[in-house]
Amino acid sequence: MSKVKAVITDLDRTLLRTDKSLSPYTVSVLKECKARGIKVMAATARPERTVRSYDAAIGFDGMTVMNGAKVMVGNRVMTYGIPDNLAEEMLAKVCGRNEFLFSVETGEILYAAEHIPEFEYTLHTGFPKLPAGETAYKILVSGEGATEFVQENLVGGLHCTVANGYLVQIMSEAANKRNGVQVMLDAFGIAPEEAVYFGDDFDDAESMQFCGLGVAVDNAIPEVKAVADKVVESNDADGVARWIEANLL
């Protein structure tokens, strides 16, 4: 591949350790990348509010959050929300299934219809109507049979991915990590061939294949390892930073 000008990485289970921490070693390696003129960018399913502490530690040159529903480069912010009518049509389908847990990500607030233990959320009892004045960026659905149900009942103009093997994420067709990666690279005049992408899950595969080098961590799902150009040590072993230090610094 060409000389690497950009490092793009997923966060959870890739750059971050399993306990969600960011090791001092990883921070130092990424800061050295920036000092040498290599752009460092994040591409994550997380909303911006849960990325800010990591951004403060590293100083990302660009961030794609909510699986591409929001892209930030410098002062530029691009958003790709779900049109209200499509969001409410999809929510009406999901609301009819009592076995599913679902929530709506609006960027600053996650709204849920009932208690979801692993998330911080605000209760909203008015679904399928969206909270007043809010834009839906992602609809999150989990439960027995959720993946098959969503795939079979997906509203036109939307697409879905599955994270962690169980969490279905529904977004606008315009929102995906690969588009976010392209927007970030274009902002700096960097060709995809000059970028390396690190990831672990389904929503990373397309970006890994788009960039000049796609790297999977050892804890990645088999489908991602299969399309990766390289497999490095796990997230808990700082595999991303170790590869960067050995190959780019």
Per residue in 12-63, pLDDT (tens digit) is 999 999 999 999 999 999 999 999 999 999 999 999 999 999 999 999 999 9
Q: Which pLDDT score is estimated for 1? A: 55
Single-letter amino acid code for the residue at 51:
V
Residue 203: closest CA among 186, 229, 223, 185: 223
Q: Which pLDDT tens digit goes with each residue over 132-144?
A: 999 999 999 999 9
State the pLDDT at residue 216: 98
Please give the backbone phi and psi of residue 198, each rounded to the nearest 5 degrees, phi first. Answer: -115, 135
3 state SS of 109: coil
Sort 231 into a burial class: Cβ within 10 Å, 0-12 / 13-18 / 19+.
middle
Q: How many helices (H) does the chain have, and how many strands (E)?
A: 8, 14
What was the pLDDT predicted at 2? Answer: 64
Q: Which residues contact 226 (CB under 8 A, 6 or more apart)?
A: none
Q: What is the pTM of this model?
A: 0.91
Nearest CA-CA partner of 58 in 29, 31, 19 = 31
Q: Which of 191, 51, 57, 59 is nearest to 108 (CA)?
A: 51
- Per run of 10 residues, the mean pLDDT along the chain (length 249 residues) is 89 97 98 97 95 97 96 94 96 92 92 83 94 95 94 95 89 94 97 97 95 98 96 98 96
